Chains A and B, each alone.
Chain A
Amino acid sequence: MSWSYALRRIGMFVAVVFLAITINFIVPRMAPGDPTAAVLEQLLSRGQQVEGAADIVANYRARFGLDDPLLLQYGRYVWNTLHFDLGYSISYFPQKVESALLQALPWTLALLLTATAVAFVLGSVLGALIAWPRSSRLVRSLAPFLMVLSAIPYYLLALILLYVFAVWTKLFPLGGAASSQSALTFSITSAIDVLHHAFLPALSIVLAGLGFWALGMRGAMINVLGEDYLALAEAKGLRPQRIFFAYAMRNALLPQITSLAIALGTVASGSVLVEVAFNYPGIGYVLYNALRSSDYFLIQGVAFFLVLTVAVAVLLLELAYPLIDPRIER
């Protein structure tokens, strides 16, 4: 990989992050008057109670220096954001936005990254096997079943799982990340408790993603199987396993990996449905609550954070891609 390639990608990443910060800066200022006061007034007028409203307004006035020239305000805003100082949450005042995010982040990452990875691996292998002519009839006939699975709306899937495993058989808890989050320790019992809670949401993600990955892989695999180099691999008398892994699947995975980066980038945003359905205290849940209570600054914080995760995922992929596919160079 050349340096200029890496530098270009990093430059792109920086540009995207700056764009996100700038939009976050501009949008509230387009509203007439004082952005903080406007938001708070709106909340108050809807009869919502906002504790420490005066404090928030005072804090923001000081923070933004709303009487300073716009460019100075902008510089300060960028500086603060880059230091991950995202301001105060309105509904959880005096909690800061970044601390709300950091509290939720480990849950989201652990649940969604693991579940997405499992769905990706299972789905890709399954899809490859479905397309592989030597697979058993049973495996090869799974495609329509997976199509149906991927067509089930996520919330319906979650409801079915909750009904069957939590309400009906009571094998798994209805929601939450642990029996008591404050009582969690580094012990086996705590770990089992967390896994027990994570199982249903994880299963829902795997089931929801399985069809997508399997069908994508099946398509890519069918393309690769028609390539001349696969016929030659067979002519060479290679073992079928070798052809399957090193020639067919290896090549069919390349487009899948692009989709994976996008999926990983949207992990945080995709978590909304999961975490709301299963009452799981992650980023998605924070966003949901922030939206419900019009916690403008928290929404902005989450939005910035989401852009950041997508940008990081894409950057990592682009830096890694030349290593996976030698044809992508420069």
Chain B
Amino acid sequence: MSAPVLDVRNLSVSYLIGKQRAQAAADISFTLSAGERLGIVGESGSGKSTLALALMRLHKPPARIDAGEAWLGGTDMMRLEGEDLRRFRWSEISLVPQGAMNSLNPVMRIRRQLADAIEAHRRDWTRAQVQARVQEMLERVGLSPKVGDLYPHELSGGMKQRVCIALAVVLEPKLIIADEPTSALDVVVQRLVIQTLKDVQEQIGAALIMIGHDMGLMAQSVDRLAVMYAGRMVDIAPVRDFFHRPLHPYSQLLISSLPSPDETKPLTDIPGMQPSLFDLPGGCSFHPRCPLAKEPCRQTEPTFLPTGPGRGTACHVVRESLDEPH
């Protein structure tokens, strides 16, 4: 495999609430190679958006990055400040935001919002070049160039999301982060929008991190899948392996709880609730809900260890079974 384009090492983010610090992203490490698509799933509140925002350094107080590095093409984004950070953003890493409905400036024409992003980074481009680029991007995401003259409130939700995708690729960044890019859309539009996102991402050869809840959509859209639980990345695997032979007990439960039409088995639910970040159980955070929990799970937190090519899991039980001589 080629050298990774993104290398996240031990990234930790916490929120200061009252006098307590809640670790919403704890010790997260993963790599991504050029053009690769990584999906991140996890229950609501597991820290997916926190991770995404921290990667863009867009986190706002009370969030704080406590530790970690995130190397993107030879630059540690966690060390960038001021003007360097501003220039790095969008030209190297861009975002398809969670709330596309409200992510466009309501009183500015679409064309201007796209042009703004270009002009902030490509000062030497002529006005004609900028306009040509805007035009091209709108067409690439399947929008008529006329959309450029409209205001956000004149677009449908799907169109707005396409505008956000055009915006994200307009400078051809190395990495695109899409945070639930389709959560507010109906199923048909969802698939079209995801397809568009994949198309333009492939065209520019960017890596993509796609956050979402829909495991089915994810299975079709990404190369690897990561699972977050209570602020930890507990499992990561190529998508085929993930569905064929899930390692982490939580991943197994996630897959078996997927509804399937040709089986008559009742919907299995994952028992219990995700713990509060203030009141994490000792040891592995998942152990109170884990059907396989053993003694070490209650005592020590499992470390995240590689379990195969492109795979990694944080689980004592998995670790033991792998260590056992065959």
Contacts and interface: CB of A to CB of B under 8 A. Distances in A.
Interface stretch (B102-110, B215-223, B225-233): B102-110
B116 A236 contact: yes
Kindly state the interface size class of chain A when it binds its partner. Answer: 20 to 34
Contacts of A83: none
B95 interface: yes
Interface string A301-330: 000000000000000000000001111000
A255 B272 CA distance: 47
A23 interface: no
B151 A326 contact: yes
B95 A239 contact: no
Interface stretch (B36-44, B81-89, B136-144, B301-309): B81-89
Nearest to B89: A237
Contacts of B102: 227-229
Contacts of A240: 86
Interface in B146-173: 151, 153, 164, 167
A240 B105 CA distance: 16
A242 interface: yes
Interface in A238-258: 238-240, 242, 246-247, 250-251, 254
A237 B117 CA distance: 7
Nearest to A234: B58
Given A235-B94, A238-B117, A327-B153, A229 B89 contact: no
A39 interface: no
Contact of B103 (A232, A239, A327): A232
Contact of A239 (B91, B105, B106, B120): B120
Contacts of A247: 105, 108
Contacts of B87: 237
Nearest to A327: B153
Given A236-B117, A237-B91, A231 B97 contact: yes
A86 B97 CA distance: 62
Given A228-B102, A231-B97, A326-B153, A236 B58 contact: no
B58 to A, nearest CB: 6
A53 interface: no
Given A234-B58, A238-B117, A228 B107 contact: no
Contacts of A327: 106-107, 151, 153
B325 to A, nearest CB: 50
B97 A238 contact: no
A236 B120 contact: yes
B289 interface: no
A161 interface: no
B133 interface: no
A229 B153 contact: no
A235 B58 CA distance: 7
B56 interface: yes
A239 B83 CA distance: 9
A222 interface: no
A254 B56 CA distance: 30
A43 interface: no
A228 B117 contact: no
B89 A235 contact: yes
Interface centre among A232, A240, A246, A251 (most CB of B within 10 A): A232
A324 B153 CA distance: 15
B90 A237 contact: yes
Contacts of B56: 235
B9 interface: no
B86 A239 contact: yes
A20 B256 CA distance: 74
B311 interface: no
B239 to A, nearest CB: 27
Contact of B108 (A234, A237, A246, A254): A246
A250 B102 CA distance: 16
B88 A237 contact: yes
A14 interface: no
A232 B53 CA distance: 11
A295 B99 CA distance: 62
A233 interface: yes
B121 interface: yes
Interface centre among A238, A239, A247 (most CB of B within 10 A): A238
B151 A242 contact: no
A231 B58 contact: yes
Interface centre among B102, B104, B107 (most CB of A within 10 A): B107
B58 A237 contact: no
B105 A235 contact: no
B316 to A, nearest CB: 39
B107 A325 contact: yes
Interface string B96-138: 0101001111111000000011001100000000000000000
A236 B90 contact: yes
22 contacts: A228-B103, A229-B104, A232-B103, A233-B116, A234-B58, A235-B56, A235-B90, A235-B94, A236-B89, A236-B90, A237-B88, A237-B90, A237-B91, A237-B120, A239-B86, A247-B105, A247-B108, A251-B106, A251-B107, A326-B107, A326-B153, A327-B106
> Nearest 6 pairs between A and B by C-beta?
A237-B89, A228-B102, A237-B90, A236-B117, A228-B103, A232-B103
Interface of B: 56, 58, 86-91, 94-95, 97, 99, 102-108, 116-117, 120-121, 151, 153, 164, 167
Given A236-B116, A238-B116, 11 more contacts: A228-B103, A235-B58, A236-B89, A236-B90, A236-B167, A237-B86, A237-B87, A237-B91, A237-B121, A238-B120, A247-B108
